[in-house]
């Protein structure tokens, strides 16, 4: 459990679900994360002690950390989504109402899914570079004021006003395109940014990633694309393109903002590979 998730309300929000799980005969032990990366260490240590079912309580970032400790094992990862985005749980069919999560987890089935690997680290939902990394750097402050969905929208609008496309060399399964790009995203799930339909046709178990590439868009075309992104109609084949591939490499001359499962960082380049059916999850 990430004690900072849900605006610090994770203990209170988790309580009713724990009661439902325990009433279903499921023994639950709670371990709190203490610092970034802590959930990965907790998961690995618990796996070494023979525990084979895990629930990540938090947002996409918490699920990401736990998955990095469990990838390529036979254990099942469940979610209790109380973070800002919760886009990965959406792709797995989790209920939006927290009151339903206990019953959902008690009856969920196991499913083997793909994960992505960006610069040696696993991601579950999406990873990219460009304006989405710029947005991720700004979302936290906005979300504290207006909530997660509006926080991503506000962060996106501010970023569109301030971020300009960068020169990038984008190689997708060996085919290279060079020029100014606003965004390059590799999606395993269908949504990112708290409900934006970045890759509406993505599948979690097809052995491929859905790559979305935005070219040299100006401010107004970027705003139009943002509106279409919520409907999943942003790919036009002229300035925004979609590909399905197993490998993505992006090179640029200076470190750029990037994100993986909503967590922002900076990188001098990204190397992304799909890892087919590398993780077992609890899903619908």
Whether the pLDDT of residue 4 is over 90: the answer is no
135: left (phi over 0), alpha (psi -120 to 50) or beta: alpha
Whether the pLDDT of residue 218 is over 70: the answer is yes
Rounded to an integer, the average pLDDT of 226-255 is 95
Q: How far, rounded to the nearest angstrom, does the alpha carbon of residue 263 sit from its chain's CA centroid?
A: 8
CB distance 48 to 252 below 8 Å: no
Rounded to an integer, the average pLDDT of 251-273 is 94
For 97-124, what is each residue's pLDDT tens digit?
888 888 888 889 999 999 999 999 999 9
CB distance 32 to 56 below 8 Å: no
Round the average pLDDT of the chain to a whole number and report it: 90
Place 156 in a pLDDT band, splitting at 50, 70 and 90.
confident
CATH code assigned to 126-275: 2.60.200.40
Give phi and psi for 84, each to the nearest 5: -80, -45
Task: Quote the pTM value.
Answer: 0.90
Give phi and psi for 92, each to the nearest 5: -90, 0
Place 140 in a pLDDT band, splitting at 50, 70 and 90.
low
Percent of the chain with pLDDT over 70: 96
The correct CATH number of 5-114 out of 3.40.50.10330, 3.40.640.10, 1.10.20.10, 2.10.50.10 is: 3.40.50.10330
Q: What are the residue boundaries of the structural domains of the chain, listed by start?
A: 5-114, 126-275
Place 148 in a pLDDT band, splitting at 50, 70 and 90.
low
**How far is residue 200's CA from residue 187's CA, in Å, rounded to a whole number?**
10
Task: Give the number of residues written for the chain.
Answer: 284
pLDDT of residue 202: 96
Closest by CA to 264, choosing from 157, 118, 150, is 118
Rounded to an integer, the average pLDDT of 198-205 is 96
pLDDT of residue 139: 75
**How far is residue 195's CA from residue 152's CA, in Å, rounded to a whole number?**
9
Partners of 241 in beta bridges = 213
Strands 76-81 and 126-130: unpaired
């Amino acid at each position: 459990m990430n004690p900072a998730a849900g605006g610090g309300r994770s203990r209170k929000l988790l309580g009713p679900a724990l009661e439902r799980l325990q009433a279903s005969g499921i023994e639950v032990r709670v371990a709190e994360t203490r610092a970034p990366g802590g959930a990965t260490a907790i998961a690995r240590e618990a796996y070494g002690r023979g525990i084979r079912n895990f629930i990540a309580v938090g947002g996409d970032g918490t699920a990401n950390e736990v998955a990095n400790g469990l990838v390529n094992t036979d254990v099942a990862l469940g979610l209790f989504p109380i973070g800002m985005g919760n886009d990965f749980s959406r792709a797995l069919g989790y209920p939006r109402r927290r009151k339903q999560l206990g019953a959902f987890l008690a009856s969920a089935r196991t499913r083997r899914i793909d994960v992505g690997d960006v610069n040696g680290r696993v991601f579950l939902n999406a990873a990219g570079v460009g304006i989405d990394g710029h947005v991720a750097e700004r979302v936290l402050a906005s979300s504290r004021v207006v909530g997660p969905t509006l926080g991503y929208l506000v962060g996106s609008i501010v970023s569109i006003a301030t971020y300009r496309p960068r020169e990038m060399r984008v190689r997708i399964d060996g085919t290279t395109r060079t020029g100014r790009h606003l965004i390059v995203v590799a999606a395993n799930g269908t949504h990112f940014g708290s409900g934006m339909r970045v890759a509406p046709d993505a599948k979690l178990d097809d052995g491929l990633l859905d790559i979305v590439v935005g070219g040299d868009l100006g401010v107004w075309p970027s705003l139009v694309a943002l509106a279409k992104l919520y409907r999943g109609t942003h790919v036009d084949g002229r300035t925004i393109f979609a590909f399905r591939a197993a490998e993505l490499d992006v090179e640029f001359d200076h470190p750029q903002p990037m994100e993986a499962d909503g967590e922002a960082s900076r990188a001098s380049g990204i190397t992304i590979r799909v890892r087919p059916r590398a993780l077992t999850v609890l899903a619908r």
